[in-house]
Amino acid sequence: MASPDAFVIIHNMMYRIVRGLEIGILLLISAAIFTYSNPPLTDQIEKVRAHTRDLEFNYITWTANATLLKIRAASIGLPHTLDREAQKQAVMEYLRATQSVLEKEYALKQVYSDAAITDKEAASMALRAELNTLYERQHELAPLAEAVLQEQISQILAELNLSVFNQPVPNVLYHATPLPYALIVSPRDRIEQVANISIHTEITIDQQATLETAVDENLNTSSLVVPIGGVGVYPTMVMRSTDLSWILNTIAHEWTHNYLTLRPLGFLYTKTPELRTINETTASIAGDEIGMLALERFYPELVTASHPTVGLISAPLDHPEPGDFLRPPFDYRAEMNETRTTVDALLKDGKIEEAEAYMEARRLVFLKNGYLLRKINQAFFAFFGAYADSPGGAAGEDPVGPAVRELRAQSDSLADFINTISWVNDFSDLQKLVDE
């Protein structure tokens, strides 16, 4: 029988092997990501970038800084120096600090948007000083809180057999940060994402509108600048939030993208619209399942209080019109599904102007019911339609999402589902798997 020391030696050896494999994988992930960000000069994306070069987000700098933070956290053994209760307290304290930061940032935006305030710098001096103090506190708490959440997701992945020697590959690493926006570009005659350019975090609404107009007038396209919740770089980027259920889901969602990157499904992400939808729907399904298991395991007291997040769509208006309570409830997903289906039919018949007029009319319907959508256009559906983990919504009658959901229903486990779908090269592969 082997001695305890022998088990320790074997464990450490296997850990080093896994970490060595991970380093190689990370280099390939980074190479893939930065290759996508530098398309050929003849590519349609390069024509769009003629309008975005001065506005684009710098991923290289961000990734270097985030990696340094993770190395520092690992060097002091976070989070393994704390017991389970202390880890939970660290996460909750970080969420409270984040809530304070978000509230003060909103107050600062109100100052700068108030036309009655002439000297905005003087008016916001005390608020900015308070924000700087809060930023320092948040930065102190973030490494530990993020390390705790990374470890919790890692434990769930190991239990789901999505690991090697109980270590996820790649390792779960994320950093909460103000996220870039994404400029989405679609042709006008069909719904298809032909460009997705990351724009810096400080772009204003006016600048977004100006950029969209410039791109559309020069390229005869439909474009839209959208906020995003996460990015699958490494470490992954996750939007700052105080919704722990959403945070856990998003950490797992972005890790799933990293996991798929060195498999055909992930490597071919940009090849076709169908493969992008398969990717995003798979990551959404996996993220929701893994995130819920983590919430139930480590924060069971929050499960009954958790609620489905609306995501990037705003909440209904605070002051409904008279008689609103007498109307039937507005079903966002059903109404958006109807909109997408109608638009697809109009575009199929070549009725581009009619489709665009219809989308604007429908936007006003959503606005009246409390959904503050700045635009509904072809780019809107090209982006949001790829997230088809639930029936209805912006995907319309696209058969890709239902096929992914059907394969998950047929699979014995989440690991079986992910490892099977990860080798899909095109939509026909998926259809064959579903029909088996």
For the chain, 436 residues long, give each residue's pLDDT as a single digit of tens.
445 454 444 444 444 444 444 544 554 555 454 444 444 444 788 899 999 999 999 999 999 999 998 988 888 887 888 889 999 999 999 999 999 999 999 999 888 878 888 898 999 999 999 999 999 999 999 999 999 999 999 999 999 999 988 889 999 999 999 999 999 999 999 999 999 999 999 998 889 999 999 999 999 999 999 999 999 999 999 999 999 999 999 999 999 999 999 899 999 998 999 999 999 999 999 999 999 999 999 999 998 754 544 333 333 333 344 444 445 688 999 999 999 999 999 999 999 999 999 999 999 999 999 898 999 999 999 999 999 988 889 999 999 999 999 999 999 999 999 999 999 999 999 999 999 8
Alpha carbons within 13 angstroms on the beta-carbon side of residue 108 total: 17
CA-closest candidate to residue 179, choices 140, 215, 226: 226
Alpha-helix runs per DSSP H in 262-331? 264-267, 273-298
* Contact between residue 236 and residue 254 where contact means Cβ atoms under 8 Å apart: yes
Residues 6+ apart with CB under 8 A from 302: 244, 245, 295
User: Which tokens go with 388?
Assistant: 């088809």
Tell me the per-residue pLDDT of 139-188, one tens digit each, with 9 for 90 and over.
999 999 999 999 999 999 999 999 988 889 999 999 999 999 999 999 99
Cα dihedral value 423, 424, 425, 429, nearest 10: 140
Question: What tokens appear for 25 in the block?
Answer: 């994988």
Report pTM: 0.85
Judge whether 177 and 59 are in contact, CB under 8 Å: no
Q: Where are the alpha helices (DSSP H) in 160-221?
A: 205-219
CB-based contacts of 98: which residues, under 8 Å, 6+ apart? 138, 176, 240, 241, 242
